[in-house]
């Protein structure tokens, strides 16, 4: 999940990307406009039992500080902004 706020230009896309080459891994979908003006985006990764994990060592990547992945927010004026912190891990649904 990512909570973002549009600046002077509306948000075009929010994506999960590799750090080194910035290739897109997964697009995040807008969920809702929050009351304070922020927007909530999310994407979900999952794997079937017994298969190779979708992300290498996915259960051990909690607390990543942009070493492998980053969230990139692009606005409609071609501005690009990166999130300073990202956590990847196993977060079971309630």
Local mean pLDDT, 10-residue blocks, the chain (94 residues): 86 87 86 92 70 53 61 90 68 58
Report yes or no on 94 lying in a domain.
no
Report yes or no on 91 lying in a domain.
no
Domain count, the chain: 1
Report yes or no on 77 lying in a domain.
yes
Report yes or no on 13 lying in a domain.
yes
Residue 81: its pLDDT value, please?
A: 84
Which residues are within 8 A (CB) of 12 and not within 5 positions of it... i.e. 6 or more apart? Answer: 74, 75, 76
Residue 5: its pLDDT value, please?
A: 87
Q: Taking CA 90 as the corner, what is the angle to CA 62 and CA 93, rounded to the nearest 5 degrees? A: 135
Residue 48: its pLDDT value, please?
A: 59
Report yes or no on 40 lying in a domain.
yes
**40 DSSP 8-state letter:** E
| Owning domain of residue 66 | 2-82
Report yes or no on 20 lying in a domain.
yes
Residue 63: its pLDDT value, please?
A: 53
Please tell me the pTM assigned to this model.
Answer: 0.69
Residue 11: its pLDDT value, please?
A: 92
């Amino acid at each position: 999940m990512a909570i973002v706020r549009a600046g002077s230009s509306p948000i075009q896309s929010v994506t999960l990307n590799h750090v080194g080459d910035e290739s897109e891994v997964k697009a995040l979908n807008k969920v809702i406009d929050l009351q304070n003006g922020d927007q909530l985006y999310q994407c979900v990764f999952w794997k079937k039992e017994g298969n190779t994990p979708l992300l290498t060592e996915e259960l051990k990547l909690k607390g990543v500080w942009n070493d492998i992945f980053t969230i990139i927010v692009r606005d409609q004026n071609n501005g690009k902004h990166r999130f300073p912190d990202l956590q990847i891990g196993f977060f079971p649904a309630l």
